[in-house]
Chain A
Amino acid sequence: MSAPKAFHHAPAGMRPPPLERRLFNRLDAEVPAAGSADPIPELLAGKYARTPLPIDELIGVVARVAAGWMRPDDSFRLRALEWMPLSTGLSPEVIAVGLDAVFGLLTREGIAQWLCEEFGSPVMPNGPRVLDGPDGGRRVRTPRLIRHTLAGVIPYPTVITMVCGLFCRAVNVVKSSSADPVFPALFAESVEAADPRLHGAFLVSPTPVPISRFERDNPGACLVVAYGSDQTIADIRAGASGGTRFLGHPHRFSIGVITGDADLSAAADAAATDVCLYDLLGCLSPAAFFVQGRAAEFAEQLAGALERKTAALPPGERTQADRIAIRRSRDAAEFAQIGGKGVTLSASGDLRWTIAVFDTPDRAVAPLDRIVNIVGVDRIEQIGEFLGPSAGRLSAAGLATGGGASAQALADAMIGLGARRICPLGRMQTPPLAWRHDGRFHLADFVEWVDWEG
Chain B
Amino acid sequence: MPATPGYNPPVMSDETARRRAAAALDERILAFIGANHRAADAVAEPAGFQRLALDLFEHQFAFNPVYREFCRRRGKSPASVTGWAEIPAVPTTAFQYADLAAFAVQRAVRVFHTSGTTRSRPGRHFLETTRLYDAALLRHFAAMMLADAARPRMLSLTADEREMPHSSLVHMIAELMRAYDPAGGRFYWRDGRERFDEFERDLRAAAAAGQSVCIFGTAFSFVHWIDTAPVPVALPAGSRVMETGGFKGRSRAVSRERLYSDISRLLGIPQTHIVAEYGMTELSSQYYDDVLLRAIGGSPLSSLGRGEGVRGMSSAGSESVSSVRIKLPPPWLRPLVVHPETLEPLPTGEIGVLVHFDLANRGSCIAVRTEDRGRIVGDGIELLGRDDAAQPRGCSLAFERTTTESRADAAGFPPGRMP
Chain A residues packing against B (C-beta within 8 Å): 20-21, 88-89, 151-154, 157, 177-180, 227-229, 250-254, 278-283, 285, 287-288, 318-325, 327-329, 331-332, 334-336, 338-339, 341, 350-351, 362-369, 386-390, 393
In contact, A153 and B407 (Cβ under 8 angstroms): no
Partner-binding segment picked from B92-100, B109-117, B165-173, B202-210: B92-100
What's the Cα separation between A331 and B412 when bound, in Å? 12
SS class, residues of chain A in contact with chain B: mixed
| Shortest Cβ distance from A360 into B: residue | B411
Complex contacts, B353 vs chain A, CB 8 Å: 320, 324
Q: Let me know if B387 and A320 touch, CB within 8 A.
A: yes
- The reply to whether B403 and A387 contact each other, CB–CB distance below 8 Å, is yes
| Interface residue B43 (Cβ < 8 Å from any Cβ of A) | no
Q: What is the interface size of chain B, counting residues whose CB is below 8 A from a CB of the partner?
A: 47
Smallest Cβ distance from B318 to chain A, in angstroms?
30
Q: From residue B289, how far is it (CB to closest CB) to chain A in Å?
A: 23
Q: Of the 9-residue stretches B9-17, B244-252, B325-333, B392-400, which lies at the interface with chain A?
A: B392-400
Chain B residues whose CB sits within 8 angstroms of the CB of A334 once the complex forms = 70, 73
Given A368-B416, A368-B417, A368-B419, A331:B94 Cβ within 8 A: yes
> For B93, B352, B399, which residue has the most chain A Cβ atoms within 10 angstroms?
B399
Q: Is B234 an interface residue (CB 8 A)?
A: no
Set of chain A residues within 8 Å of B417, measured between Cβ atoms:
325, 328, 366, 368
A328 lies within 8 A of B414 (CB): yes
Whether A339 lies near B97 (C-beta < 8 A) is yes
Given contacts A287-B399, A288-B399, A325-B390, are A338 and B66 in contact (CB under 8 A)? yes
| CB contact under 8 A between A366 and B340, given known A283-B395, A336-B97 | no
CB-defined contacts of A229 to chain B, threshold 8 Å: 392
Given contacts A362-B407, A366-B417, contact A253 B396 (CB under 8 A): yes
Q: Which residues of A contact B394 (CB under 8 A)?
A: 152-153, 179, 278-283, 285, 368
- Other contacts beyond A281-B395, A282-B396, A335-B66: 7, CB < 8 A: A283-B397, A320-B352, A320-B353, A324-B373, A332-B413, A338-B70, A368-B417
- Residue numbers in B under 8 Å from A254 (CB-CB): 396
A412 to B399, CA, bound (A): 23
Taking the complex as formed, is B200 at the interface, i.e. its CB lies under 8 A from any CB of chain A? no
Give 3 nearest A-B pairs by CB, closest first: A366-B416, A281-B394, A152-B395
In the bound complex, residues from chain B placing their C-beta under 8 Å from that of A157 are: 395
- Give the interface centre of A321, A329, A388 by most chain B CB atoms within 10 Å: A321
Rounded to whole Å, the gap between the CB of B70 and the closest CB of chain A is: 6
In contact, A364 and B413 (Cβ under 8 angstroms): yes
What is the distance, in angstroms, from A138's C-beta to the closest C-beta of chain B? 33
Q: Which residues of B contact A88 (CB under 8 A)?
A: 393
Residue contact A362 to B410, C-beta cutoff 8 Å: yes
Contact with A along B223-242 (1 / 0, CB 8 A): 00000000000000000000
Q: Which residue of A lies closest to B408 (CB)?
A: A363
Select A323's contact among B98, B340, B414, beta carbons within 8 Å: B340
How far does the Cβ of A315 sit from chain B's closest Cβ, in whole Å? 12
CA distance A369 to B417 in the complex (A): 11
B57 to chain A, nearest CB (A): 18
The verdict on A363 contacting B404 (CB below 8 Å), with A281-B394, A322-B390, A339-B412 known, is yes
| Min distance, Cβ A212 to any Cβ of chain B, angstroms | 27
Q: Given A364-B404, A366-B415, decide whether A335 and B396 contact each other with a Cβ distance below 8 A.
A: no
Q: Is the CB of A364 within 8 A of B400?
A: yes
A-B contact pairs, 20 of them (CB 8 A): A152-B394, A157-B395, A254-B396, A280-B396, A281-B394, A324-B371, A324-B390, A325-B417, A327-B340, A327-B341, A328-B93, A335-B66, A339-B66, A363-B411, A363-B412, A364-B403, A365-B400, A366-B415, A366-B418, A367-B396
**Cβ of A335 and Cβ of B98 under 8 Å apart?**
yes
Q: Which residues of B contact A288 (CB under 8 A)?
A: 399
- Chain A CB within 8 A of B91 CB: yes
What residues on B are CB-neighbors of A280 within 8 Å? 394, 396, 419
Q: How far is the CB of A249 from chain B (nearest CB, A)?
A: 8
